[in-house]
């Protein structure tokens, strides 16, 4: 079986180091820099011939530069004769541009999928895609991990009267997500219908559901400028909610987001660490980070790929079987919520 080599891009080195530490590995040697004309240069500093390469690069910060860096790293490893290259992209770039919402609009998420494949990626690991159908843009395997297990655990551990809470979607598009969580918790759900004047501006909000005298928990896959979730929080308080929380997988928090969160009626805004949050937390004490979930989720998929041979696996009664096993780890309870494929 090939050895694993783990590389980090520039976007989220803390996350890469956490994954490496859990695996007991050193991050692979790579030098990235910019030429004077702003072209990206990548130099892989060790042999990857015949190795199983994983590159962690999130779609955040200088997104275009980081995407280009990822593409070059993938291609550099591929032409250096690595056996397989997996791109671990916790926050997938351009995920909101997944359809033609107007005449002559591009489908940029499909373009990104094409570029990753052409660069040489054999496998993609990502988290909470804005639209799950983006997986269909690829002709290579895509593992789309979900934050729902961590959301459930956080609610049970941090909301004292969680059995009387209401899970709320800030828009109609997230209804499926919140109903799944509400069903798992056996609580009620609500949604907010919004009408937009233009991008990043909300015109009118209508609450569908009852939050009177209850804790309202807004759940969404991402928040960027936070206009929607902050208006939603104010709407919920006006409708009689006693407290309002927001739980988001990807906390982009660009532009006026931090100021809006500070001034909104949130008790806390909880995010995973698919995007670095250290600097933003300094300016917004309401932001809390689920640090371990992203690492654990990536590790489980990574382990499952290492345990399964590249070729097909026989499942007859006299051979190995593939089972879904819920791993219970003493020092990390989040493991017990995450399925992992293992050979028995």
Number of Cβ atoms within 10 Å of the Cβ of 144: 15
Query: Where in 9-63 does DSSP place strands (E)?
Result: 30-34, 40-44, 52-56
136 with 179, same domain: the answer is no
User: How far is Cα 40 from Cα 149, in angstroms, rounded to an integer?
Assistant: 38
175 with 116, same domain: the answer is no
177 with 140, same domain: the answer is no
Q: What is the CATH number of the domain that holds 126?
A: 3.40.50.2020
Give the structural domain span for 60. Answer: 4-145
Residue 175 resides in a domain: yes
127 with 246, same domain: the answer is no
Q: What pLDDT is recorded for position 337? A: 38
* CA dihedral sign, ordered 86, 92, 94, 96: positive
Structural tokens at position 17: 């180091």
Contact, 276 vs 252, CB < 8 A? Answer: no
| Diameter of the chain measured on Cα atoms | 63
State the DSSP H helix or E strand holding residue 183, giving kind and residue range, or none if neither: helix 175-185
159 with 281, same domain: the answer is yes
Residue 246 resides in a domain: yes
Residue 300 resides in a domain: no
Q: What pLDDT is recorded for position 198? A: 63
DSSP state of 23: H
Give the total number of structural domains in the chain: 2
User: How far is Cα 282 from Cα 70, in angstroms, rounded to an integer?
Assistant: 29
141 with 13, same domain: the answer is yes
* CA dihedral sign, ordered 64, 70, 71, 76: positive
Task: Collect all residues with Cβ–Cβ distance below 8 Å to 228 and sequence separation of at least 6.
Answer: 170, 171, 194, 202, 220
Residue 202 resides in a domain: yes
Q: In degrees rounded to 5, what are phi and psi of residue 180? A: -65, -45
94 with 181, same domain: the answer is no
CA dihedral 19, 25, 30, 32 (to 10 degrees): 20
Distance (Å) of CA 279 to CA 118, 282, 284 = 35, 5, 9
79 with 215, same domain: the answer is no
**Could you state, in chain order, the average pLDDT of each consecutive group of 10 residues for the chain (344 residues)?**
87 92 90 94 96 95 97 98 95 95 93 98 94 94 91 94 96 90 96 72 80 97 94 95 97 97 97 95 95 68 58 35 33 41 34
Residue 288 resides in a domain: yes
Q: What is the CA radius of gyration of the chain?
A: 21
136 with 11, same domain: the answer is yes
**pTM recorded for the entire structure:** 0.85
User: How far is Cα 125 from Cα 11, in angstroms, rounded to an integer?
Assistant: 16
């Amino acid at each position: 079986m090939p050895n694993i080599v783990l590389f980090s891009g520039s976007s989220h080195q803390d996350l890469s180091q956490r994954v490496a530490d859990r695996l007991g590995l050193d991050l692979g040697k790579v030098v990235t820099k910019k030429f004077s004309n702003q072209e990206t240069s990548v130099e892989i500093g060790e042999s990857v011939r015949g190795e199983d390469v994983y590159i962690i690069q999130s779609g955040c910060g200088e997104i275009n530069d980081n995407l280009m860096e990822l593409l070059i790293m993938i291609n550099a490893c591929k032409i250096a004769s690595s056996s397989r290259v997996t791109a671990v992209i916790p926050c997938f770039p351009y995920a909101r541009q997944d359809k033609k919402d107007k005449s002559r609009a591009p489908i940029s998420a499909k373009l990104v999928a094409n570029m990753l494949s052409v660069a040489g990626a054999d496998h993609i690991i990502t988290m909470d895609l804005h639209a799950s159908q983006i997986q269909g843009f690829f002709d290579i395997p895509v593992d789309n991990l979900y934050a729902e297990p961590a959301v459930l655990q956080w609610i049970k551990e941090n909301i004292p009267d969680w059995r009387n809470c209401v899970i709320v979607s800030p828009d109609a598009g997230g209804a499926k997500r919140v109903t799944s969580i509400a069903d798992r918790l056996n609580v009620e759900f609500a949604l907010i219908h919004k009408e937009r004047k233009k991008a990043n501006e909300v015109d009118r909000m209508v609450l569908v559901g009852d939050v009177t005298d209850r804790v309202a928990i807004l759940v969404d896959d991402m928040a960027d400028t936070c206009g929607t979730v902050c208006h939603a929080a104010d709407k919920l308080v006006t409708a009689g909610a006693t407290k309002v929380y927001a739980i988001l997988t990807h906390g982009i928090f660009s532009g006026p987001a931090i100021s809006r969160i500070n001034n909104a009626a949130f008790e806390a805004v909880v995010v995973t660490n698919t995007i670095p949050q250290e600097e933003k937390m300094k300016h917004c004490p309401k932001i809390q980070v689920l640090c371990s979930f992203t690492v654990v989720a990536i590790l489980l998929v990574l382990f499952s790929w290492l345990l399964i041979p590249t070729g097909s696996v026989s499942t007859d009664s006299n051979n190995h079987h593939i089972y879904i096993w819920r791993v219970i780890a003493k020092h990390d309870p989040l493991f017990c919520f995450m399925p992992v494929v293992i050979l028995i």
